[in-house]
Amino acid sequence: MHFSIDLILAQMMLGLSVGAFYAMLSLGLAIIFGLLNVINFAHGALYMLGAFVALIGYDYVGPWFGFDDFHLGFWPALVVAPILVGCFGMLLERTMLRRLYQFDHIYGLLLTFGFALILQGVFSNYFNISGTPYGGSPESLSGIANLGFMYFPKYRLFAIIFSIAICVATWFVIERSRWGALLRAGVEDAKLVQAFGINVPLMVTLTFGFGVGLAALAGVLAAPIYSVSPLMGANLIITVFAVVVIGGLGSIKGAIISGLALGLIQGLTKAIYPPAAHTVIFFIMVIVLLTRPAGLFGKE
Amino acid sequence: MNRILWILLIAFGLLAPYAIYPVFAMKLLCFALFAAAFNLLLGYAGLLSFGHAAFFGGAAYITGHVIKEWGFPPLLGILAGTLFALILGVIFGKLAIRRKGIYFAMITLALAQIIYFFANQMAFTGGENGLQGIPRGYLFGFIDLSKPLAMYYTVFAIFMIGFLIIYRVIHSPFGQVLTAIRENEPRAISLGYNVDRFKLIAFTISAALAGTAGATKSIVFQFAALTGVHWSMSGEVILMTLVGGMGTLFGPVVGAFAIVFMYSELSTMGSWIDVIIGTIFVLCVLIFRRGVVGELLRLVELRGHRSKQQNIES
């Protein structure tokens, strides 16, 4: 057997663009988990919701209000979707999730699992399960870029760079800014931070909204690449869980790095041995569990 | 209270095929055993597995294959499926008990996903079409299981054996130690118990019995399909246990009956059924954490307290 270098490079670049989505989703999960100790099972569904905000904004909103020519474009959707979905997430946290903090953490998981089912069910009723193509892909990013060593779709390149930028910016805010310092202090000892006059419950709500907003942002970013389908998040989220286990839940850095790296590895597997592409991340998870149960970047 | 539930269960088991469609009654029993096996882990050991579909659906494929292709008799086929689930349970358990709580749930979910992809890709499972046309065969070589009543009472016997095993485990010193681990793991460790060993054994028993349930179901319906190993099946069994009451002996049985019944009633509603299932999940978690049987037991207990108090006052 021999493999062409071009094919491997191409698959690795494609893998990296998938990894960019893993990184954004696992980053959101890690932020939410850090402060709330909740694993948000609805994260995939909220990613799906983000993509649907883009789709509905482009195709449906205009006609609903009688402006047939109105299309909410890709760039506005990139701002609108995270805000809308983030607000929806904050509502969820305020009205329901908050009641469960006093109980075992698994109840948070089960509640969000229920929400994922509800959201998927609702959208499955109104939209095609096998997916609807998104018409609002930006003109400026269509076509193919020459990377020197290969040709690559411009949009995917943008998606990689954009999500890495978002991830790095998030990391910077959390690790280096005053707001991030408060957040980390809140993770360590919520009572103490509250005693300093910080409104911790509000901080928790905003953080949840931010994490959820990241999922929605990833959803909008995914809309031009994949077709928008009610189950797009469900299929992704389990892989992202494995990514999170590999990276170590407590770590922001771990979520970003392992997300990108595992996307790359998945792409590589697709080039070398395609049938294993779906399972390779899970097998890596097994190996990590055997050697470093806390995850590559996690602390016990 | 428990005595009444025992009588109700056995009466239901003996009379069900005369009152309802036997295949439906068998489905109820298979899911009841599945949920009861799951509850052994969640309700008594306090471990939330999100991957039990792998045992349930995986065993169904193995049983179907050995009966259809290798000509195994039905009971041996079920045993093969159970053995497969048991071995898988040891492997999953060894990996997953390295972490606790939410991590445990995520790891079992991810491991089960490997089984799902295997089931989708391997040749013998039939992929999207599933494994069809599994013959029911003859029990002990002479009882024709294609007759509904013969099949039904076989399923009922298997259910009762599985249920009694679970009852025995819960009410043994082993079960007491499990509960102790659930309530306070550090204390159990300091008392000298090898906590990981207890968890692993509980996980394995639960996995094996979930496998028995899946294997039996594959003979009843004569097929094994991808839905059995899909993560939504793991979610369903959690819901059954939650609705019925986790940590109660009869809760999962009641929950399984309720959910299976609801599915068959609402089968025409398409995707709305997901919305309904999700809503029940949310409501159970928010306001109904004890489940049906849990609430019932509490009611009886409260009344017991009250009458005792009245006795003292008078």
> Mapping DSSP to helix (H, G, I), strand (E, B) and coil, where does residue B186 land?
helix
Averaged pLDDT of chain B: 88
Q: Does residue A184 surpass a pLDDT of 90?
A: no
Q: How many helices (H) and strands (E) does chain A have?
A: 12, 2
Average pLDDT over residues A85-97: 92
**Could you tell me if A98 lies within 8 Å of chain B, comparing CB atoms?**
no
Pairing of strands A151-153, B138-139: unpaired
Chain segment B2-24, per-residue pLDDT in tens: 788 888 888 888 888 888 888 89
Indicate the class that CATH gives domain A5-291. Answer: mainly alpha
Query: Which residues face A151 on adjacent strands?
Result: A146
Confidence of residue A270 (pLDDT cuts 50, 70, 90): confident
Q: Does residue B71 surpass a pLDDT of 90?
A: no
Average pLDDT over residues B60-71: 89
B272 in Cβ contact with B265 (< 8 Å): no
**A125/B271 touch (CB, cutoff 8 Å), yes or no:** yes
In this prediction, residue A162 carries a pLDDT of 93
Q: Which residues contact B88 (CB under 8 A, 6 or more apart)?
A: B54, B55, B58, B115, B207, B211
Q: What is the pTM of this model?
A: 0.88
Cross-chain CB nearest to A238 (options B113, B277, B286): B113
| Residue ranges of E strands in chain A | 144-146, 151-153
In this prediction, residue A147 carries a pLDDT of 76
Nearest chain B residue to A98, by CA: B286
- State the total domains in chain B: 1
**Could you tell me if B114 lies within 8 Å of chain A, comparing CB atoms?**
yes
- Interface ipTM: 0.84
Give chain A's radius of gyration (CA, Å).
Answer: 19
Residue-range domain boundaries for chain A: 5-291
CATH number of the domain within which B29 lies: 1.10.3470
Q: Does residue A2 surpass a pLDDT of 70?
A: no
End-to-end CA distance of chain B: 26
**A121/B271 touch (CB, cutoff 8 Å), yes or no:** yes
Tell me the residue range of the domain where B191 lies: 2-313
List of chain A residues whose C-beta atoms are within 8 Å of the C-beta of residue B48: 106, 109
B251 in Cβ contact with B11 (< 8 Å): no
**Could you tell me if A275 lies within 8 Å of chain B, comparing CB atoms?**
yes
Average pLDDT over residues A211-219: 94
Distance CA B28, CA B16 (A): 10
Mutate to test the interface with B, among A38, A289, A299, A300 (most CBs of B within 10 A): A289
List of chain A residues whose C-beta atoms are within 8 Å of the C-beta of residue B279: 114, 118
In this prediction, residue A300 carries a pLDDT of 58
Distance CA B14, CA B216 (A): 18
